[in-house]
Amino acid sequence: MRKFEKISFEQFKKDVCSDEDLYNEFIENNSDYVIVQDYEFTDEGLLFKSLPLKIDDPIVESIQNSVIDYSIYDAIKAGFTKVVFIIKEENYEIFRSTIGKRIENYIKVEYVFQNNDNLPVSIPTDRTKPLGTAHAVLCCKNVINENFAIINADDFYGRDAYFKISNFIKNNKINNEFAVIGYNILETITDNGSVKRGICNIKNNYLVSLDESIISRDGDKLFAKTLLGNNEIHVDKNTIISMNMFGFTPKIFDLLEEGFKDFLNNVDATNEYLVPIEINKYIKKKLINVSVINTTSIWYGITYKDDLNLIRGEINRLINDGVYPKNLWK
């Protein structure tokens, strides 16, 4: 639960007047509001924000648990015993107080800081954004010694996906054998606009390539263009998509460390060192094998503002069906 604080009209006027419509509604109704300390993941990292909500707004109850809470809850159910949060160091105190602290009684929690300090070479001084997801994983090298899975913290993957990736990492004994959870493309796209997805080219249940692409839909037709090269690529209703839930062995750290040197030699103000692009390189060099494990889960993410309502609706449905309790961390 974000910290709720009931505030008076004057307090609302003082702290939350940037939203004029909401401010006028408050004046008209003279209602009580709460300030909800919430967060979102952006290209610049974790962004904390204050949200003004009516005290009787159903959203107040529904956001007691965030998407990341449900991810951790599902991971615990699937047998995971440790979670590593990769955050900016300056966000540690507020992140732990709003997110980490409430789960520390249920699973071992560690924190890793992703920053641009202590790099082996200097980078442009105007580079402020994180160096990418592959760098984030590499930052975990000193705290992970076992097989592990990675996810995007603001994506809802579904419980079946956690059970399947957990089963893989528990049983995998081959150092260069990795896995990715595969979703049907129709379970990952939105009606609200184009999306970036990893298109899986599969042979005998193994990845042949993983092409990061922009996918759009026009009626029943699907279209895709690769991020690298802007090449058109065939997709249809049976295409399998990666949403960045991977199962790794510690071997990934050696691979990422070697590739990171090349990345730093070409880093600029905006480019990123990304997991799926590196995985694709390793496959083509025959350094790794990546099995594709299909899931029956439906993936939900927030690419567009309206996508949030889809996630809330699905989570509320699952709560009503008894899959999740209303309050995950009693």
d(CA 206, CA 198): 14
Q: Are 319 and 325 in contact (CB under 8 A)?
A: yes
**N- to C-terminal Cα separation, the chain:** 11
Where helices occur in 108-236 by DSSP H, the ranges are 133-138, 159-171
Q: Are 121 and 265 in contact (CB under 8 A)?
A: yes
Question: Residue 198 maps to which CATH number?
Answer: 3.90.550.10
Q: What is the pLDDT of residues 7-24, one digit of tens each?
A: 555 554 554 444 555 545
Beta bridge partners of 178: 290
**Tally of domains within the chain:** 2
For the chain, the average pLDDT equals: 82
Q: What is the pLDDT of residues 162-184, one digit of tens each?
A: 999 999 999 999 999 999 999 99
pLDDT of 268 above 70? yes
* Comparison of pLDDT for 209 and 330, the residue scoring more: 209
| Domain assignment of residue 117, yes or no | yes
Question: What was the pLDDT predicted at 94?
Answer: 81
* Comparison of pLDDT for 53 and 101, the residue scoring more: 101
In this structure, are 47 and 117 located in the same domain?
no
In this structure, are 157 and 215 located in the same domain?
yes
Q: Coil, strand or helix: which one is 263?
A: helix
In this structure, are 45 and 172 located in the same domain?
no
Amino acid in position 231: N
* Comparison of pLDDT for 128 and 236, the residue scoring more: 236
Question: What was the pLDDT predicted at 171?
Answer: 97
* pTM of the full structure: 0.80
57-85: average pLDDT: 78
Which residue range(s) make up the domain with 59? 4-64
CA neighbor of 179 nearest in space, from 167, 192, 191, 187: 167
* Comparison of pLDDT for 196 and 78, the residue scoring more: 78
- The residue out of 28, 43, 64 marking a domain boundary is 64
| Domain assignment of residue 322, yes or no | no
CA neighbor of 247 nearest in space, from 316, 171, 311: 171
CA neighbor of 278 nearest in space, from 294, 295, 256: 256
The model's confidence at residue 306, banded by pLDDT at 50, 70 and 90, is confident
In this structure, are 200 and 215 located in the same domain?
yes
